[in-house]
Amino acid sequence: MLVRNQSEAGTVTYDDAQGAEMRPVITKDDGAPGFAMRVFTLQPEGHTPYHSHAWEHEVYILDGTGVVRSADGERRVRAGDAVFVAPHELHQFRAGAAGLRFICCAPHH
């Protein structure tokens, strides 16, 4: 069994994002056979890239407020919300004035 605090995971940033960092807390390197778990922190008004890919995401909002953007428009999100991003769906998470923190689970790719 693995127990890891997010502060013990390395930090990943993205060139096409702003004020966003990701901490991979569980990965295939830890023996997880199917999914990775990552914790994202978006600074106030920060955002992830607007992108799509062939795999799904399951997201759970931990703290803050913001919007999730798709080709269909924007939906507000807040702590306690769950978001399913389907394969090939354009998506972007944007933080509000207080920032946004969420867990993202995605299959290994």
CATH number of residue 35's parent domain = 2.60.120.10
Under the banding of pLDDT at 50, 70 and 90, the label for residue 109 is confident
What is the rounded CA–CA span in Å between residue 106 and residue 98? 26
The number of domains in the chain is: 1
The pLDDT score that the predictor gives to residue 74 is: 97
In terms of phi and psi (left: phi > 0; alpha: psi -120 to 50; beta: otherwise), the region of 30 is: alpha
Give this prediction's pTM. 0.93
2 in any annotated domain: no
